[in-house]
């Protein structure tokens, strides 16, 4: 981390010469991004560990890339993403409803975020994390982005567990969608300091819509995407509001001169409402989960959020 608090950097030039249509760029040195690269390394290391324990060459003759020895991949008919077996993922912390609810292994809500089903899955998520996360960390700092990433991942795991109760779920997608949600709420709560704001909003909405639309394909856990996105969206209002333009200068005015509030009224309002909704959502979700509630019992049409049947594939409703 370089310099002082992000709110004190580049304030004097925020009123002019904005460099981006998406975000207001600080004119001083941005935060040094180290947490997101650390997350990338952690995910890669975890995948290597998973493949080491998987040891396909010992248990299956049809392994892919057998020259890798115990790091070879499961047969493509079992895992087309070039990765380990589902039993290995389950053993090392994959999200599995029965183990969370009936065996009280709530820690799986967190560990599943660091596991990936295969090389393709890992590369896709890590590229997205680098593209989205590094920019956000440079702009907002590692503390806030780290909180958003982790809580969004957990939020995605909770919603996924309420609906996906027969399959194993792994991946950082919920956390990634949380960063996308935070980008959207950050744009909304700091609307007045953006240039080309409508274009930025429409672009971001299209990106989010496309990514959520991909989630209706079979074998994609869109509930983790939705849960992570909603969590990050609410957290953005709580953690990412920016001071009003020129506030840093006004607070240094002589005594007796009225100083405006650091944040606008709507920023306080959005932050408070979002915090209440976030706490309520996590509380209700965890209570329902550990009571063994099936989300489909209360939302019969929700299966369309995760898989839409077509002439090319079918959905099992789970």
Nearest-angstrom CA–CA distance, 177 and 223: 11
Give the number of residues written for the chain: 318
Q: Using alpha carbons, list the distances in angstroms from residue 203 to 172, 183, 199, 231, 281.
A: 23, 12, 6, 21, 28
Q: Which of 173, 185, 274, 306 is catalytic?
A: 173
Q: Which of 22, 116, 121, 225 is catalytic?
A: 225
Question: Among this protein's residues, is 225 annotated catalytic?
Answer: yes
Nearest-angstrom CA–CA distance, 144 and 15: 24
What backbone phi and psi angles, to 5 degrees, belong to 34?
-130, -25
Nearest-angstrom CA–CA distance, 316 and 153: 25
Count of H-run helices and E-run strands, the chain: 12, 0
Question: Among this protein's residues, is 72 annotated catalytic?
Answer: no
From 314, 251, 315, select the one nearest 5 (Cα to Cα): 251
Nearest-angstrom CA–CA distance, 116 and 221: 13
Helices 142-163 and 222-239, interaxial angle, to 10°? 150
User: Which residues carry out catalysis?
Assistant: 173, 225
């Amino acid at each position: 981390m370089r310099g002082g608090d992000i709110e004190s950097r580049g304030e004097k030039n925020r009123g002019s010469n904005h460099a981006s249509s998406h975000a207001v760029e600080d004119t001083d040195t941005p935060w040094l991004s180290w947490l997101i690269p650390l997350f990338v390394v952690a995910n890669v290391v975890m995948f290597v560990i998973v493949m080491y324990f998987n040891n396909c060459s010992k248990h299956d003759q049809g392994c892919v890339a057998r020259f890798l020895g115990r790091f070879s991949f499961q047969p493509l008919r079992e895992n087309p993403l070039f990765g380990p077996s589902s039993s290995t993922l389950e053993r090392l912390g994959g999200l599995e409803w029965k183990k969370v609810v009936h065996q009280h292994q709530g820690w799986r809500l967190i560990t599943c975020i660091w596991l990936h089903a295969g090389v393709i899955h890992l590369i896709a998520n890590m590229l997205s994390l680098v593209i989205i996360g590094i920019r956000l960390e440079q702009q907002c700092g590692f503390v806030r982005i780290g909180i958003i990433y982790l809580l969004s991942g957990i939020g995605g795991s909770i919603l996924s567990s309420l609906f996906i109760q027969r399959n194993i779920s792994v991946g950082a997608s919920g956390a990634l969608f949380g960063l996308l949600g935070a980008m959207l709420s950050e744009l909304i709560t700091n609307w007045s300091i953006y240039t080309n704001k409508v274009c930025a909003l429409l672009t971001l909405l299209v990106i989010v819509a496309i990514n959520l639309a991909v989630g209706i394909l079979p074998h994609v856990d869109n509930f983790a995407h939705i849960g992570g996105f909603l969590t990050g969206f609410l957290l953005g209002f709580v953690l990412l509001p920016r001071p009003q333009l020129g506030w840093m200068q006004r607070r240094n005015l002589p005594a007796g001169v009225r100083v405006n509030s650091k944040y606008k009224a709507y920023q306080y309002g959005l932050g408070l409402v979002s915090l209440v909704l976030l706490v309520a959502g996590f509380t209700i979700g965890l209570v329902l989960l550990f009571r063994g509630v099936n989300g489909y019992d209360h939302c019969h049409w929700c299966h369309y959020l995760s898989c839409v049947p077509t002439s090319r594939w079918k959905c099992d409703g789970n």
